[in-house]
Structure 1
């Protein structure tokens, strides 16, 4: 029996591993590692927290580019869109490493956020559905765990590099790492839109063929709009709370190193959450899991607002359990509802309204902090939005497709 690294059985694990790294170097580096740079940028340039957080609001670019990237992916395949996206992320990090003015921070942010959708969830859901149809949820969980695995290791490493060699060198290091992953994408990711998976296992593909919605069909269902509402409101937990955790802990007189370790706890539990939620989504409807993890987020917010250090650790861990699953459950419930055929286009459209929390969340939290020197009010208001998110997920009913 001959061994071939590029045979179906081995190639799919290369696809999964490379996708894991792509997610980690895009979402993980761009969103989580940035926390380590906030205070150094304040000290270097004298920028306010609001000015720096405005760069995070430029994540709106991800929401607007997602539908375009989704259609591009459905038409041309995964390799092209992932490669182009990672190239943009690489250029964004190199630009940040050489910036001297605030506008350069904003321009680099646009490059980074334009690259994120095509390097992460848009290709991920389709790739895992095609290469691992029987264990799709678990594999989505594994590959999306790259995001939070990156959060575990990147924040402490970035903090160490900044202290040892400066923030510029740290940004260059992130860019070089992303470039290496781009090369792996070119080597191992297969444009599989023409690949006949039914030859490998007809039973595995049967389930996917039973429901394949076009985008125009999907947006005519109530489930689609309840899903959009729930996902959009939940994102305020990420854009207002999670990306401010390290600065929040520091504002409570926690040292930068310890605050970074608390963020690592978030990342560890987010990885666990992704793996568990991916496994569960293969067994029960994802909407039930969505409700549970949003409740975890609400409880976690109360703990991170506590004064006792041990409660902050618990809160960071609970936030990890709640937030981590979202990256898995978004693609999982989209494929459950609407199938794989136009997954990227549909999921890209679902991500468009996320522009609102991306714009409002960081700016709002920055304004609140600059005025009150605390994030408490901002975090508490997010909990009210999470209640509405839970109500929306309750009404995401998975119904059989009719007349399509």
Structure 2
């Protein structure tokens, strides 16, 4: 008799779960959209479109690709702002930190639009831009989503990440003709204006203040984030940081030179721009796929798979000229890895360590990523100047993805309990 009633009981439980999920989304869709938009058009977007500025800056001011790519090395300094941003977010709340970061990032784009050919000015403006932009990255944005959603946290993070990927796919199509018609200044002003017109109002009106979070019971008035030293003494945190660095650095490095890389492999300029968009679409698919899967399966196994695929994709790009079909297939696989990184790491932080020190841990991860990007994204331009092609950088990227895949598996089983 009990067996006869089991399908009916399962059906009732499924309906109950669905109602809880729908209730969660009815309560949280506003901060969710605000976080999605802010993360999609904030500082992180520039990594997806920066390669469109390389050749125009080279033609406009006579700088080499190594000169232009050198700004990524500033991350060695600006990266240390990430743990501070995380600490402030855990202590003061997301809203004030993110709003200030969005306004300062828009101002950074304005400064970049005023370049007149001085490399020193370019370096100074980009330094300020990257420092301010740290407050608009996943440190703040994923904290909004992780706090607003619980039952479908992975899906919510994936939707947020896919927003950045989709913007990375569509923005080049809008940005490229603007740069052609109005130069790099027009491109920078377009990016800054988008932040002011879309992200700032949504965050202002739809992201709850810390006082509102305390009143609603979403955060504890007494719980404080652990100190950096205490967190870094935990082996799992160190493993997760290392995996995220090895996952993300090759993506940003390749993406920062994607258009000229495509041209160097024999693609036409318009086809090369299309490759940047394909990578963005692939990242959106990777984000959605990983987010849905981590809500149902062991997250490290999903992360392993979505790093092995881009490791293989890089190998397709080795050698001389490649066909557009092969290049696009490789970019598709690399994009899947790009889409998986942010939401999987954010999910793992919440699942393994809870929300009490969430932004602080994410900030430490961002510090590692930024230091890695400072090295990788600057060296890829230098490698091209030295060897005359991108093959050495492509091999290094493939090895980095493969090592990241192995490290994700080392996270082990989920803990029974995590701190609030």
User: Same fold judged by TM-score > 0.5?
Assistant: yes
Superimposed CA distance per residue, residues 197-243 of structure 1 (whole angstroms, 9 cap, x where no aligned partner): 8779xxxx9xx9xx998355543322111112211222331232222
Cα distance in structure 1, aligned partners of 2:252 and 2:281: 19
260, 279, 282: which is aligned to 2:273?
260
Q: Is 1:322 aligned to residue 337 of structure 2?
A: yes
Superimposed CA distance per residue, residues 102-125 of structure 1 (whole angstroms, 9 cap, x where no aligned partner): 122222222232233322311233
Query: Offset at 1:403?
Result: 11
Query: Offset at 1:73?
Result: 0.8
275, 281, 284: which is aligned to 2:294?
281
Residue aligning to 1:240: 253
1:50–1:193 Cα change, 3 Å: farther
What is the TM-score normalised by the length of structure 1? 0.89
Superimposed CA distance per residue, residues 267-321 of structure 1 (whole angstroms, 9 cap, x where no aligned partner): 1111111111111111122211111111111112122346122100101111111
Q: Is 1:116 aligned to residue 133 of structure 2?
A: yes
Deviating more after overlay: 182-191 vs 82-91 = 182-191
Q: Is 1:188 aligned to residue 212 of structure 2?
A: no
Cα distance in structure 1, aligned partners of 2:414 and 2:150: 20
Query: Offset at 1:48?
Result: 0.7
Superimposed CA distance per residue, residues 141-164 of structure 1 (whole angstroms, 9 cap, x where no aligned partner): 111222211111111211111112
Residue aligning to 1:358: 373
Verify the 8 A CA contact 1:218 1:338 in the aligned structure 2.
Answer: no
95, 99, 102: which is aligned to 2:111?
95
Cα distance in structure 1, aligned partners of 2:284 and 2:210: 27
Cα distance in structure 1, aligned partners of 2:418 and 2:337: 37
CA RMSD of aligned residues (A): 2.6
Superimposed CA distance per residue, residues 154-200 of structure 1 (whole angstroms, 9 cap, x where no aligned partner): 11211111112222112111111111222321122112465268779
Cα distance in structure 1, aligned partners of 2:177 and 2:418: 58
Verify the 8 A CA contact 1:287 1:396 in the aligned structure 2.
Answer: yes
Q: Which runs of 5+ in 1 are unaligned?
A: 1-6
Query: Offset at 1:402?
Result: 8.5
Verify the 8 A CA contact 2:91 2:224 in the aligned structure 1.
Answer: no
1:239–1:60 Cα change, 3 Å: farther
What is the TM-score normalised by the length of structure 2? 0.86
SS at match of 1:53: helix
Cα distance in structure 2, aligned partners of 1:281 and 1:62: 31
Cα distance in structure 1, aligned partners of 2:398 and 2:418: 40
1:184–1:164 Cα change, 3 Å: same
Residue aligning to 1:389: 404
32, 46, 56: which is aligned to 1:30?
46
1:90–1:164 Cα change, 3 Å: same
1:296–1:193 Cα change, 3 Å: farther
Q: Is 1:294 aligned to residue 303 of structure 2?
A: no
Verify the 8 A CA contact 2:43 2:105 in the aligned structure 1.
Answer: no
Cα distance in structure 2, aligned partners of 1:335 and 1:148: 22
Superimposed CA distance per residue, residues 320-362 of structure 1 (whole angstroms, 9 cap, x where no aligned partner): 1111110111111111110011100111112222243222112
Structure index of larger Rg: 2
Cα distance in structure 1, aligned partners of 2:125 and 2:285: 32
1:122–1:28 Cα change, 3 Å: closer
